[in-house]
Amino acid sequence: MKNVSVMCFHDELCQVFNALMTALSLLREGSKVTIFFGSRGINAVHRDKMKELKCMPDMPKEFGDAVMHKMDEKGLPLVEDLFVMLIAEGATIFACPLNLSLFDMTSQDLVDGVKPADPAKYYKEVVIRADMNLTF
């Protein structure tokens, strides 16, 4: 079994979606998957802010809306659904405690199943031991 660490430091919807879909695919192929959200990525695991993530906010609104429409047409899962699937299928999901405090969040703001990480333990026990470290 491969140990995979996925780190997401962005709150742009396509980056978050790609991180979660990659993690889910690896999990379903038999890997042990741990996902870590830090920096602006912390917004992706906030139960309310998650619903406000924007697709390509640096592009004209029509462009992001078109991508969202195509995702809907393809029946791709919502970010909320991906978290449910990942947790139900055994992924471990952490939030950076430093970023929680910097963004005025508490552990009660997190999506169900997401826990604050102990950064030293996370890097020592997950990142260093991982067969694959992916960053989004």
Distance CA 132, CA 1 (A): 12
How much is the mean pLDDT over the chain? 95
pLDDT at 99: 93
Distance CA 103, CA 83 (A): 21
pLDDT at 96: 95
Per domain, the residue ranges of the chain are: 3-135
Distance CA 100, CA 40 (A): 10
Kindly state the average pLDDT of the residues 48-74.
90
Distance CA 94, CA 107 (A): 10
Copy the structure tokens of residue 8: 């997401």
The answer to whether residue 49 scores a pLDDT higher than 90 is yes
The answer to whether residue 44 scores a pLDDT higher than 90 is yes
CATH 3.30.830.10 fits 3-135, yes or no: no
Question: Model confidence over 67-114: pLDDT tens digits?
Answer: 988 988 999 999 999 999 999 999 999 999 999 999 999 999 999 999
Kindly state the average pLDDT of the residues 46-61.
92
pLDDT at 120: 87
Distance CA 62, CA 40 (A): 24
* Percent residues over pLDDT 70 in the chain: 100
Copy the structure tokens of residue 95: 């939030």
